[in-house]
Amino acid sequence: MSDQEGGKGSPKSSSLGPYEEAMEALSSLITRRTRADDSNVGDQFSLLYDYLKMLDLEEPIANMKIIHVAGTKGKGSTCTFTESILRNCGFRTGLFTSPHLIDIRERFRLDGMEICEEKFLAYFWWCYDRLKEKTDDNIPMPTYFRFLALVAFKIFAAEQVDVAIMEVGLGGKYDATNVVQSPIVCGITSLGYDHMEILGNTLGEIAGEKAGIFKNRIPAFTVPQPDEAMHVLEEKASLLNVPLQVVTPLDAKLLNGLRLGLEGEHQYLNAGLAIALCFTWLKRTGHVGDIYMEQTDTLPEQFVKGLTSASLQGRAQIVPDQHIKSERSNELVFFLDGAHSPESMEVCARWFSLAIKEYNPDQTLFHQQLNNSKLSHEVVKSTYHGERGSQRKSTPVEYRFKILL
């Protein structure tokens, strides 16, 4: 970014370092009001268009070739597969996801790598200073996530990415990423109960919010959904003349003996959705001739490489401890996953019960008496209900699970 663009940001007088200073400014955008509070003027969706004008982002966003993905479970994984596939097809990619695990820069990826600190600070202050200068009591500074989404749009526009993959933060209809008016293709991952105080108490209401990313005549894909949710998605798609298609899980045979880069059986469903999004993006952007896609019983080499090399922290991740030097076979190993709903925890438990056996088949975990389905049920039941305030003592299953996760 050039100095003329304001790339170096505003000079600040503080004992904090440049990065810590930016994090402090970002923290100032966190509001104590809930996102569902209509009285919070900063949460009014229409204000996002005012912010776009202030940042001169209207035209750049209109020119971006965007893939927009909403859903309850699997959004980050689907977006990660999609980015990896298109990057391996030779395109410059931009990926915006949430949340981050360690560093805020994880949310902004260019060509598969989180944005460097120097560029992040330049774009951060470019956006922050202009918004701070132009906002007032009637149009206040954007809240935390909305500001990050605006920064993402600025980064991808300035870096001239070929494709921007945008993961919805919450819901869809009123999410900050939904300022996109003409995406190339949209995706809806598996739907379930989450953020019910904001999105609704039924699967139908939740599906209606997620379907808010549908745009007139823009193709969309989803995965098999519960009937209540699917009915709403189809209804919303029909109203907007959206050609909505349901994809099936990826057939593992198409990977030519290789494994997906993201672990877990559920990832084959996310991979199937990612493939559909990528094929459609290639066709609608005029790149269909660049990738051989005629045969339906095989995947292009670039797709296979993208799917098998995809990487995302905190999703069924196995991390051996590099600091322990041991000649014994039972080295210290961490099994990490960010499951936070009953459905996700059950999927996590199934992955874990299989992964621990595959990682060290000589060890018998959980006394060999628990089969996979029973283990999943017990782990979810004990851990999830324990979080809800149960005063009973931890069961052996819960105790071992918490140690290993």
What is the side-by-side strand order in the sheet with 220-222? 113-114, 108-110, 93-96, 163-167, 66-70, 185-188, 220-222, 244-246
Taken as a whole, the chain contains a residue count of: 405
pLDDT (tens place) for every residue of the chain, 405 residues total? 544 444 445 545 557 889 999 999 999 998 765 544 444 444 689 999 999 999 999 999 999 999 999 998 899 999 999 999 999 999 999 999 998 888 999 999 999 999 999 999 999 999 999 999 999 999 999 999 999 999 999 999 999 999 999 999 988 899 999 999 999 999 999 998 765 555 656 889 899 999 999 999 999 999 999 999 999 999 999 999 999 999 999 999 999 999 999 888 889 999 999 999 999 999 999 987 656 554 467 899 999 999 999 988 766 677 777 766 555 555 677 777 766 666 667 777 776 777 777 766 555 444 444 444 444 455 444 444 444 443 333 333 332 333 333
pLDDT of residue 350: 74
* Residue at 249: amino acid letter: P
pLDDT of residue 354: 73
pTM of the full structure: 0.80
pLDDT of residue 170: 84
**Cβ–Cβ under 8 Å, residues 383 and 344:** no
CA 405, CA 386: separation in Å to the nearest integer? 15
Lookup result for tokens 């996590």: 348
How many C-alpha atoms does 82 have within 13 Å on its Cβ side? 35
**Cβ–Cβ under 8 Å, residues 173 and 233:** no
E strand or H helix at 400: helix 396-404
How many C-alpha atoms does 109 have within 13 Å on its Cβ side? 26
Q: Residue 66 pairs with which residues in a beta bridge?
A: 164
pLDDT of residue 195: 53
Q: CB-based contacts of 142: which residues, under 8 Å, 6+ apart?
A: 29, 42, 47, 48, 51, 131, 150, 176
pLDDT of residue 328: 53
What domains, with CATH codes, occur in the chain? Answer: 41-309 (3.40.1190.10), 314-368+396-404 (no CATH)
E strand or H helix at 114: strand 113-114
